[in-house]
């Protein structure tokens, strides 16, 4: 049952590795997605805060400078020249910092506009300071309008700077979305691999463990019922054989006496016919006993390639006399633990049936040996398979289902136990028998026997 355990273990280990890889991939992807999502959220928060902060700082610096300028000459302006210069320096420092910052191309272009427009504002401020009492007396209306226009342009550029940051924010959002979509696809792939691995593992367990066990359970239940019937048949057959053999012995003794007393031609044909029927009855009794209570197998190791050659030499003269060609094919050697006498009985019955299928016409029979895995039902055991193939008329379709049934025969003088005994002997050797046949193309019988290195055979003496 566990002849396939080594292969099965390798498959389980392989699938376990694939499953572990799939789980590891899913865990890794989850960690990567979590880290990437946290990073993106931090970047989004930073960009959003930075955009608002920088625009607010520039507006505040411009408003402070412009407000101080507009308050020149008023009672609220104390030391206005010093305040204006201080706030001018603050705005210059801010612009210098932005020029050195790692901004995008769009942002750098806007910062350049800020610098140009601020320098224009400063030039006007320097021109005003150059006049006598320029920064100490109130500004006239035209000067106020001129500085208001410059301040508005600076505020407009600040809006452009905020919009550029908003654009960067949208780009970052798009990149984050693409990254999340990519991660989602990877997770789906990992989950698909995980599910595929689980499905393959379940399929492997069902195919190599559950299904063979189920088939073996069915086979054992069928075998148990069959053996119970055979036990009852054996008891009945033993009683019938005992009761029939005694009269047959007496009849054969009387026949012998009659042959000695009767003269030539005085009923000798009748005596011969009676003797033939008595022999037939003895053969039937022997077959019934052989089917119900087969002899205990004397197991030993046999090289089937050598054995098959000896068997072919044994049956060749009889087949040649019947104008039947015999060929033999062996694909390597195979060692099994069997009873060679029981195997000879099995193969001889199959060859005899193939010969009788020709009905006296010439034909061809092929004996073949090869190895095959999974021949035995419900097992993955490596088996040696012996086949007997003929090119006769084939087995009729209505006969095939009952081919191995006891006492079923299509031959006028057959007992219907030949193939039944063959199947019983094959079963006793731990093997299985199958056949293939089609009308007009011949018949092939295959006998599978576990190799001697299988767990079952290794336990045999």
Q: Where do the structural domains in the chain lie, given as residue ranges?
A: 5-203, 296-461
The C-alpha angle 458, 460, 461, rounded to 5 degrees, equals 115
Nearest alpha-carbon partner for 40 in 178, 240, 202? 178
Could you tell me the pTM of the whole model?
0.49
pLDDT band at 4 (very low <50, low <70, confident <90, very high): very low
Name residues whose C-beta falls within 8 Å of residue 128's C-beta, 6 or more positions apart in sequence: 134, 135, 139, 143
What pLDDT was estimated at residue 5? 53
CATH topology identical between 5-203 and 296-461: no
- Report the CATH fold assignment for 5-203: A middle domain of Talin 1 (1.20.1420)
Backbone φ, ψ for residue 448 (5° rounding): -100, 130
Q: State both tokens at 207.
A: 């195919």
Taking residues 239-263, what's their average pLDDT?
75
Nearest alpha-carbon partner for 426 in 310, 347, 372, 329? 347
Residue 367 scores a pLDDT above 90:
yes
Mention the CATH class of domain 296-461. Answer: alpha beta
Residue 52 scores a pLDDT above 60:
no
What pLDDT was estimated at residue 42? 58
The dihedral over CA atoms of 233, 226, 438, 388, expressed in degrees to the nearest 10, equals: -80
Backbone φ, ψ for residue 377 (5° rounding): -65, 135
Backbone φ, ψ for residue 59 (5° rounding): -60, -45
How far is residue 344 from each of residues 73, 253, 347, 455, 457, measured CA to CA in Å? 133, 33, 5, 24, 19
Residue 258 scores a pLDDT above 60:
yes
What pLDDT was estimated at residue 3? 42
pLDDT band at 328 (very low <50, low <70, confident <90, very high): very high
The full 3-state SS of the chain, as one line of letters, equals: CCCCHHHHHHHHHHHHHHHHHHHHHHHHHHHHHHHHHHHHHHHHHHHHHHHHHHHHHHHHHHHHHHHHHHCCCCCCCCCHHHHHHHHHHHHHHHHHHHHHCCCCHHHHHHHHHHHHHHHHHHHHHHHHHHCCCCCCCCCCHHHHHHHHHHHHHHHHHHHHHHHHHHHHHHHHHHHHHHHHHHHHHHHHHHHHHHHHHHHHHHHHHHHHHHHHHHHHHHHHHHHHHHHHHHHHHHHHHHHHHHHHHHHHHHHHHHHHHHHHHCCCCCCHHHHHHHHHHHHHHHHHHHHHHHHHCCCCCCCEEEEHHHHHHHHHHHHHHHHHHCCEEEEEEECCCCEEEECHHHHHHHHHHHHHHHHHHCCCCCEEEEEEEEEEECCCCCCCCEEEEEEEEECCCCCCCCCHHHCCCCCCCCCCCCCCCHHHHHHHHHHHCCCEEEEEEECCCEEEEEEEEEECCCHHHHCCC
Q: What percent of the chain has pLDDT over 70?
A: 73
Taking residues 151-160, what's their average pLDDT?
80
Which of the pair, 390 or 17, is modelled with greater confidence?
390
Would you say 357 and 380 are in contact if contact means Cβ atoms under 8 Å apart? no
Taking residues 146-154, what's their average pLDDT?
81
Which of the pair, 194 or 263, is modelled with greater confidence?
194
Would you say 30 and 187 are in contact if contact means Cβ atoms under 8 Å apart? yes
The position carrying tokens 């930075």 is 50
Which of the pair, 413 or 222, is modelled with greater confidence?
222
What pLDDT was estimated at residue 49? 47
- 117-140 pLDDT, tens digit per residue, is 888 877 887 777 776 455 666 667
């Amino acid at each position: 049952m566990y002849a396939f355990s080594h292969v099965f273990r390798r498959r389980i280990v392989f699938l376990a590795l694939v499953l572990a890889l799939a789980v590891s991939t899913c865990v890794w992807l989850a960690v990567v997605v979590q880290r990437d999502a946290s990073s993106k959220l931090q970047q989004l928060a930073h960009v959003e805060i930075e955009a608002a902060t920088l625009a607010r700082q520039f507006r505040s610096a411009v408003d402070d400078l412009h407000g101080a300028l507009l308050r020149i000459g008023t009672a609220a302006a104390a030391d206005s020249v010093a305040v204006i210069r201080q706030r001018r320096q603050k705005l210059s420092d801010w612009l210098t910092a932005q020029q050195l910052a790692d901004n995008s191309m769009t942002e750098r272009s806007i910062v350049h506009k800020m610098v140009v427009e601020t320098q224009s504002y400063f030039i006007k401020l320097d021109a005003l300071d150059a006049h006598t009492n320029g920064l100490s007396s109130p500004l006239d209306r035209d000067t106020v309008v001129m500085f208001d226009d410059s301040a508005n342009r600076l505020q407009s550029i600040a809006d452009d700077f905020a919009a550029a940051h908003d654009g960067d924010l949208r780009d970052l959002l798009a990149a984050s979305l693409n990254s999340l979509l990519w991660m989602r696809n990877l997770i789906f792939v990992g989950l698909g691999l995980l599910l595929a691995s689980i499905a393959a593992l379940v399929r492997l367990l069902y195919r190599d463990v559950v299904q063979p066990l189920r088939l073996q359970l069915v086979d054992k239940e069928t075998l148990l019922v069959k053996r119970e019937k055979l036990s009852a048949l054996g008891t009945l057959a033993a009683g019938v054989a005992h009761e029939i053999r005694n009269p047959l012995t007496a009849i054969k003794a009387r026949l012998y006496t009659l042959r000695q007393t009767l003269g030539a031609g005085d009923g000798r044909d009748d005596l011969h016919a009676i003797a033939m029927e008595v022999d037939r009855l003895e053969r039937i009794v022997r077959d019934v006993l052989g089917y119900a209570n087969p002899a205990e197998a004397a197991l030993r190791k046999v090289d089937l390639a050598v054995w098959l050659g000896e068997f072919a030499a044994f049956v060749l003269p009889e087949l040649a006399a019947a104008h039947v060609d015999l060929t033999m094919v062996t694909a390597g050697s195979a060692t099994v633990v069997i009873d060679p006498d029981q195997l000879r009985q099995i193969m001889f019955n199959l060859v005899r049936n193939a010969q009788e299928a020709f009905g006296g016409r010439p034909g061809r029979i092929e004996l073949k040996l090869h190895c095959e895995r999974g021949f035995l039902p419900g097992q993955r055991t490596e088996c040696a398979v012996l086949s007997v193939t003929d090119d006769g008329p084939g087995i009729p379709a209505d006969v095939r289902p009952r081919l191995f049934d006891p006492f079923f025969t299509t031959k006028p003088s057959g007992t219907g136990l030949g193939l039944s005994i063959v199947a019983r002997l094959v079963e006793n050797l731990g093997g299985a028998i199958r056949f293939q046949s089609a009308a007009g193309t011949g018949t092939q019988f295959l006998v599978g026997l576990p190799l001697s290195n299988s767990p079952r055979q290794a336990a045999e003496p």
